[in-house]
Structures are given as C-alpha cells and as structure tokens.
Structure 1
Amino acid sequence: MQQPQKDVQVWALRVPGVSASSLDLSALDEEERRRMDLFVRDADRARYGFAHAALRTVLAGLTGSAPDLLRFARASCPCCGGPHGRPVLISSALEFSLSYSGDLVLIGAASGPIGIDVEPAPQLEVAEQLAKSLHPAECEEIETALPEDRPTVFARLWARKEAYLKGLGTGLGRDAAADDVRGDLPGWCLTDLPVNSGYAAALAVGSTAPSTLLLHRALPG
C-alpha cells in the first residue's frame, strides 16, 4: 500500500514570448535537442525547450545535481512491461511529471508516484465527441452541463484523467473509460490546480491521504 506523501511541489510557469534561439538551452541533452528540432514552428520549439530546461532547473534544485548532468530513463510500462512507462531520474528516487500547453508549463515533483496535466478547453463539438470515450459517469456529467459549460467540464475531467494515467505510467495505453476521475481513486489523490482562464489542470499523487501542496509561480533562483 502506498503511504501518504509529505510535500508535493508544483511549478506553474508562463512560456516567455521569445524565440527558441533567445532561450538558455545549454542544459539540454542531445536527445532533447533532437526532439526540439523536429518542431516546424519556432513557437513550438521555444515551448518545448523552455519546458525541458525548466524541468532540469527544478530537478537540479531538488537533487543538488547540475542541470546538464541529470539523466533520464523510462520505468517499465504497467500495461505491457515495455520500457516506455513514466520518465524517471537515473540517479535519484525523486519522482516528477511535466506537462505543457499553449503558454503554460506545469512541473510536479514528489517522493512517490505523481502525474500532472494541463489542457486547453476545446471547441464544443470536440468536447462532445471526445466525451464518448470517457467513463459513463464522466460522459453523463459533460452531457448534462449547459452547452457553454461543456468544454470547461470536459477539460477538467480530461486533465484529471491524463494526470492519473501519467502517474500510473500507462498513458492512454489504459482505456480512458476504465476510471471515474471525478473524485479520488484507490491509492490516489486527485487535485484541480488553479491556472489561467481557458485551461484546466490537475495533479495526481500516489498517496493514501492528501499531501501538503506547495505551488510556485517562478523557477527557483
């Protein structure tokens, strides 16, 4: 049984409105640079680069390692046992999760399993279509909401589901209809996070009791 976690830290950051070439990306490794260069739009490269450089800054501050010396691997997938589960640090037991969308980046760190996600509110038609893939109780909550509220309701539920599936390490390899994430789940505490209008964000922590959440709006100095 998972034990209660103590402090869970979250960083909610704004992507600076600058080009990728203006960012300090010196800590990124070769694979991160390769992935960043795959993006066609400079804004997408800047978002990716900033998010991963910020992640290294956060983890370096928590582990005492230099940002460029951090090395990552993948845990085993709970669904198939393959090497594509949640990302982990090679040299530390600290757990983390990263999510970004639009101009928002979220980073979560804890002593045990953690997942974090941020989602933009979709168009009404998209929300209604994707709702059909969710748990029946979640789908019903979306369908019974006023039409103008359905995108927001969907985004909230989807962020909670993605955070939980990231924490498990399955991603969407687990059926999106399998779990009702409107509340906590066995062994997991789910929390909505305050973010900018037009977005929904959530945190999932593998714990038997709520943890103390420390929310930061800027990177450690």
Structure 2
Amino acid sequence: MGVKPATTTDPRAGDAWSWPSGVRVWKVSLDRAERAVWWGWLSEGERDRARAFARAVDRRRYVVAHAALRSVLGGLCGVPADRVGFAKDPSGRPRLDLGGGRPAPDFNLSHSEEWALIAVAPQGWRVGVDVERLRADLDPLAMAERFYRPEESARLRAAPGAALAGYFRLWTAKEAFVKATGGGLARLGDVLVHDGGHGGGHGGGHEGGHEGSATCERSRSLGGPVRWLDVAPGYAAAVVTISSTPAPRTD
C-alpha cells in the first residue's frame, strides 16, 4: 500500500530512500513547530516519556519523531496514526501490532539532535537504522583502536583526514546491525563492517546503492547489506537489513 503525500499536519518528511527489496527510509526534521494533533496520536506511555524530558527541545523532538513513526506506519498499513499499536517480541524489540494476527512490516526508528530516520522493511526482513551527529571532540583513531575490529581500524588509519567521518560511518552501520538483529544476537564488538564504497544512498525517492555489508563474528551466518545515507552535513547514517529467519548462535 502506498504512502500518502505529507501534508501541513503530517510530521513526515517529503523525501525517502527506497530499494527494490521493499525497504524504505524516511527522513524527518525534528526542529519544527509541534502540532497539538501529534500529541493526541501518542500512547499514554509515550506521553509520559515525553513529559519526563528536562529540556523542552528534547520533549518536542521526541513528540515529532514518534508522531512521524505513527504517521508512516499508519499510512503503510491503512490505520489511523492514533490507532497504531505496538508490542514487543520475546527479546524486547519493538514490533508493530495490527491486531487479529495481521501480518505487519518491520520497522526501526533512530534520532540524533534535529534529525530522525524511520526505516520499514517488508515481511521476511528485519531492519535497523542509525543516525549520529559527528562529534569533533572525539579522537576517532584512538576510539577505533579500543572498540573496532583490527581491519576496521586499519582502514581508518589509511585515510586519517577522513577518520572522523569514517569512524561514524562504521559506528552507524554497527548500531543499525545490532538494532536489526535484536535479542542480543550481536554486540557492537562482534560486528564486522565491510565497506564497499560511497556510491548511492541518495534521498528523494531514489534507490540507494548496495554499498557494503555487515556480519557477526560470533555467527557468520548472521549478516546483511549496509547502505549509508546522506542525511545532512555533519551527520552519518546507515540502514541494515537481515533475514527474519533466526540464525544459529555459535557462542
């Protein structure tokens, strides 16, 4: 089912990434005036979490992000935004609950400061997405030595001028992979990212390129494609899809 175009009361952004597999990613600006109708879409639990934020800007961004998630999922599934239901799988990973045993797409949400990304994958796939603002106060080479695989650290050392962007490029791919797997099947330190280049990943409804892949060192049968997204200057973002068929654990 297609997604209706964004309107003045719709928190979704007008552009999205899409791929032949049916995976789609929406980009949402969180620094926009909050509309009263969006608050009404949220569950009581979501409202409680919004009220708990100390800063008004964080509260507003949370409301916009979660209203946008409901708008996207409701538009895809033919459900009003305020009636989109959520549940958790046995591992605690959020899932869409349409009721009555209806099949539902997989989804994932990530936000960092003024941007949010919403990823949706068709049945048979699990999706993870991550967006991060680049931190200039971070020493990427030192951090990579501590947290990344040796071959990943070597790639960053080979291009020191691009080490900061490269560090977050790897980080977002690892985070997206962990979010896609869920259930503790993979930890950040277990994930090896194979960077296939910088082609693709454009917005505006275009298909992004298959730029790389990620695998779990504890279970080599667990892996999937990585696609990096150009969200905005100063940000890194990636989306990962894996088969929803459980992979055997080898640890």
Decide: shared fold, TM above 0.5: yes
State the identity %.
34
1:199 aligns with 2:241: no
1:39 aligns with 2:60: no
Per-residue CA distance 1:169-218 (angstroms, 9 max, x = gap): 147x843221211331354111111210100110101159xxxxxxxxxx
| 2:115 corresponds to | 104
Instruction: State the alpha-carbon separation in 2 of the partners of residues 198 and 27 from structure 1.
Output: 31
Instruction: State the alpha-carbon separation in 2 of the partners of residues 130 and 73 from structure 1.
Output: 36
Secondary structure at the aligned position of 2:59 is classed as: helix
**RMSD of aligned C-alpha atoms?**
2.4
| 2:74 corresponds to | 60
| 1:17 corresponds to | 32
Instruction: State the alpha-carbon separation in 2 of the partners of residues 59 and 184 from structure 1.
Output: 26
The Cα shift of 1:16 comes to: 3.1
1:118 aligns with 2:154: no
The Cα shift of 1:9 comes to: 1.2
Secondary structure at the aligned position of 2:138 is classed as: helix
Unaligned runs of 5+ in 1: 78-83, 209-221
Listed as ranges, the matches of 1:1-221 within 5 Å are: 6-18=21-33, 20=34, 24-77=38-91, 84=92, 86-91=93-98, 92-111=103-122, 112-131=125-144, 132-146=146-160, 148-170=161-183, 174-182=186-194, 183-185=212-214, 186-207=222-243
Secondary structure at the aligned position of 1:118 is classed as: strand
Instruction: State the alpha-carbon separation in 1 of the partners of residues 169 and 37 from structure 2.
Output: 31
Instruction: State the alpha-carbon separation in 1 of the partners of residues 170 and 64 from structure 2.
Output: 27
Letter in 2 for 1:176: L
Instruction: State the alpha-carbon separation in 1 of the partners of residues 237 and 37 from structure 2.
Output: 25
Secondary structure at the aligned position of 1:177 is classed as: helix
Preserved CA contact (<8 Å) 1:121 1:154: no
Letter in 2 for 1:167: A
| 1:214 corresponds to | none
Comparing 121-130 and 34-43, the one that deviates more: 121-130
The Cα shift of 1:23 comes to: 6.8
Compare relative contact order (CA 8 Å, sep 6+) and give the higher one, 1 or 2: 1
Change (3 A) 1:175 1:129: farther
The Cα shift of 1:127 comes to: 2.9
Letter in 1 for 2:97: I
Preserved CA contact (<8 Å) 2:25 2:120: yes
Secondary structure at the aligned position of 1:26 is classed as: helix
Preserved CA contact (<8 Å) 2:178 2:187: no
